Amino acid sequence: MAEEIGAAVECNLTRSEDDTDDITVRLSKGTVDTTGFTAELSIGAGKDAAPTVTFSGAAPVSPAQPNGLIVIDMNGFALPIGSYKYDIRITDTNVGDTPSRVYFKGSFKVTPRIN
């Protein structure tokens, strides 16, 4: 089956509870300048439910990002153990790209932390 052009990339994420490490998104293996891009990660129960939590991110500004990176700040991540859905919307603020487009989506699983 051919991939739909412009369709969100589906990938499943697993994260342990209380893991506040940032999530880094790479838009391209080649050269893409993401300076000025922003991202929003929304996590919730499903398609028709409002997001439970959202996290924001942006391309690092120093140095400029010709490598296509956008970093989502996961500070305060504290979802209960369980299974959720997520999407990551990215906006090119340089060209007033609104509404933002969903680039990534899938399941988001929170697992117990083992100490």
Measured at the CA of 7, the angle between CA 52 and CA 92, to 5 degrees, comes to: 75
Q: Tell me yes or no: is domain 15-111 CATH 2.40.10.
A: no
The domain ranges of the chain are 15-111
Per residue in 85-101, pLDDT (tens digit) is 999 998 887 776 666 78
103 alpha-carbon distance from chain centroid: 8
- In the beta sheet, which residues pair with residue 41? 55, 88
Do the Cβ atoms of 79 and 38 come closer than 8 Å? Answer: no
Cis check for the bond before 60: say yes or no (omega within 30 of 0).
Answer: no
pTM, entire model: 0.82
Q: Calculate what percentage of the chain has a pLDDT beyond 90.
A: 43
Per residue in 43-75, pLDDT (tens digit) is 998 777 777 899 999 887 765 556 778 899 999
